[in-house]
A and B are shown apart, each in its own frame.
Chain A
Amino acid sequence: MEQTIIYLDNNATTPLHEDVIAAMNRANELYGNASSMHAMGREAMEAIEESRQAVRDLIDAPEGSIVFTSGASEANNTVFNLFRERIDLGSKRNRIVTTTIEHPSIIEMVAHLRELGYTIDLCPVDHTGRVVMEEMEKLMGDDVALVSVMLGNNEIGTIQPVKEIALLAHHHGAYVHTDATQAIGKIPVSMEELGVDYLSLSAHKFYGPKGIGVLAIRKGVPFAPFFHGGHQEGGKRAGTYNNTAIVGMGVAARIAREELEEESARLWKLREMLREGIEASIPNVVVNGSRDYCLPGTLDVSFPRAEGESILLYLDLEGIMVSTGSACASGSLEPSYVLLASGVDIELAHGSIRFSFGRYNTEDEVHYVLEKLPPIIKRLREMSIR
């Protein structure tokens, strides 16, 4: 019997697009080291430069800004590390400002740097997960080196006013970084329009391969490599080019750009269909995040009196794959810091489920979820303390 598989965890990662697979299979033949001068090397470099242009077009980035990395985590770490170096070298701008709901690659970096004695301020967010601009203004000053704010949140989908934050930060002489990983392919992302100095992204969130991403760096802004070694990427990031992955990302970037408008509308339609269906069929649910500023494919819902890991695993038994903010699924004892930072009650955080849609999801799948989910919640609530 064919096992039903409904993959609603596209914010965690996405499957490869069939065109990406085909291009990567061809690119496996490009075994030349792209740094070599000979024909094999030049052939590989040509493919890499084509991908670089595709990514540049996707995010409307300035010329010469695209640096390939192993993903967004490396890109984020690179940015924080380079400002840490400037602080070490005695820069009078020795404070970093970011938010309470960033990706772990920033949250954990912040914790690490704080332990080492660096000053890092976290701007709070409102109950929808959006940065409170008045608080951000209060955190500005002529000692701020870097302001880093993610464009779209991975868990609740809230979109941040990055353009306004960049204007504000630049006014105070600070540099600005955005982690745009979750926003790519879902909403228009223009580095020029946002006005940021650094932008991180990762290919596997938009149907490209895992282990490859980009740090876009505006010309003239501070930079220091995180990886030292060869002279790849103009000395900005050492390490032999991963030809196959870079080609895959290029194709994914081209498709994401071409299909953005249509895809964005489709994801929002599926998301809203599921939200309305859940609200109509299950009493007492809380939709987390922002209604007005939300990534189109993300729906985060709390089910009071039903615990997240149990919901996730009952859905898993029905072939439906989601994620949860519950502590029980995190390996730690604390539930989602994103929800807690947004002022969501701790009990609601334990019972939160994230449904994240992608290009391969269908309306039929939403109907299937709406058939399976209500009895699961009912059952767990009946078993729960009354």
Chain B
Amino acid sequence: MSNFMAQWVYSPVVKDHFMNPRNTWSEEEHFEADGVGEVGSLACGDQMQVLIKVENDRVADLRWLTYGCASAIASTSMMSELAIGMTLEEAYFLSPERITEALGGLPEHKFHCSVLGDKALRAAIDDYLKKNGKPNPWQSQVAKVICECKQVTDIQVEELVKSKEATTLEELEKLTGYGTVCGKCKPQMALLFDQLQHLYHV
């Protein structure tokens, strides 16, 4: 039993960030946010909120809240450390791969569902730019997640519709699994599907 705790389920860095998460938003703290982003849902088991302060086009400070598993907590914590000090552009393109690498790796199935911090950060930057009437040159360059449970993006759907691999919503569901967990994305996906069908095949 001497090695009992030696092999934990995640890497030592994940464990550290899970046990001591950085930059969480405590209830007592008054944090004047310039932008707020929220992604995920309680039904898919992961939901997070990111609040940023912006100074000179940089992420001057950041707070976050997460409902989620250990890797969701650790990856959001790691995201916060990486993002603070970045220019808005750098922060906008902070990738889940970069966060995962900094964590010393995550199991494959965790990478897809629990690394949402980068998306919440992007949403916060979108919010900041919109509130301040500034142009958002990056939004169109990034895939937007439609189904958060199964991480299905608009670009992925577009390709499937364009190639006629998915000619009905049922086929799209079979191929991507969208809407099979919490179901929240179904109306939005139906709308997107109709638009794309119209665009490519009508």
Mask: chain B, 28-46; 1 = CB below 8 Å from A; 0 = not? 0000000000100011111
The one of B4, B18, B65 in contact with A3, judged by C-beta atoms closer than 8 angstroms, is B4
Q: Are A383 and B73 touching (Cβ within 8 A)?
A: yes
Of B68, B73, B150, most buried by chain A (CB within 10 Å of CB) is B68
A3-B1, A328-B113, A334-B181 known; A384-B66 Cβ under 8 A: yes
In the assembled complex, the Cα of A230 lies from the Cα of B12 at a distance in Å of: 51
Q: Does A309 contact B (CB under 8 A)?
A: yes
Q: Are A305 and B67 touching (Cβ within 8 A)?
A: yes
The one of A305, A309, A346, A350 in contact with B70, judged by C-beta atoms closer than 8 angstroms, is A309
CB contacts under 8 Å to A, within B73-132, are 73, 109-110, 113-114
In the assembled complex, the Cα of A54 lies from the Cα of B21 at a distance in Å of: 53
Name the A residues within 8 Å of B67 (CB-CB): 305-307, 383-385
Name the B residues within 8 Å of A306 (CB-CB): 67
A328-B45, A333-B149 known; A309-B69 Cβ under 8 A: yes
In the assembled complex, the Cα of A383 lies from the Cα of B49 at a distance in Å of: 10
Mask: chain B, 137-176; 1 = CB below 8 Å from A; 0 = not? 0000000000001100000000000000000000000000
In the assembled complex, the Cα of A31 lies from the Cα of B49 at a distance in Å of: 63
Tell me what chain B mostly uses at the interface: helix, strand, loop, or mixed. Answer: mixed
In the assembled complex, the Cα of A350 lies from the Cα of B43 at a distance in Å of: 8
The one of B24, B109, B110, B149 in contact with A383, judged by C-beta atoms closer than 8 angstroms, is B24
Tell me the nearest residue of chain A to B76, going by C-beta: A383
Q: Are B26 and A328 touching (Cβ within 8 A)?
A: no
A307-B69, A384-B67, A385-B65 known; A313-B9 Cβ under 8 A: yes
Question: Residues of A within 8 Å of B, CB-based: how many?
Answer: 26
Name the A residues within 8 Å of B18 (CB-CB): 310, 313
Name the A residues within 8 Å of B150 (CB-CB): 333
Mask: chain A, 287-329; 1 = CB below 8 Å from B; 0 = not? 0000000000000000001111110010001000000001111
Name the B residues within 8 Å of A350 (CB-CB): 42-43, 45
In the assembled complex, the Cα of A386 lies from the Cα of B48 at a distance in Å of: 10
Q: Does B19 contact A (CB under 8 A)?
A: yes
In the assembled complex, the Cα of A289 lies from the Cα of B106 at a distance in Å of: 34
Name the A residues within 8 Å of B9 (CB-CB): 313
CB contacts under 8 Å to A, within B37-64, are 38, 42-49
Known: A307-B67, A326-B69, A328-B68. 8 other contacts (CB 8 A): A3-B5, A307-B72, A328-B45, A333-B45, A333-B150, A346-B42, A350-B45, A383-B21
Which 7 pairs show the lowest CB-CB distances between chains A and B?
A328-B69, A309-B69, A384-B67, A347-B42, A350-B45, A346-B43, A313-B70
Chain A residues proximal to chain B, CB less than 8 Å: 3, 5, 305-310, 313, 317, 326-329, 331, 333-335, 346-347, 350, 382-386
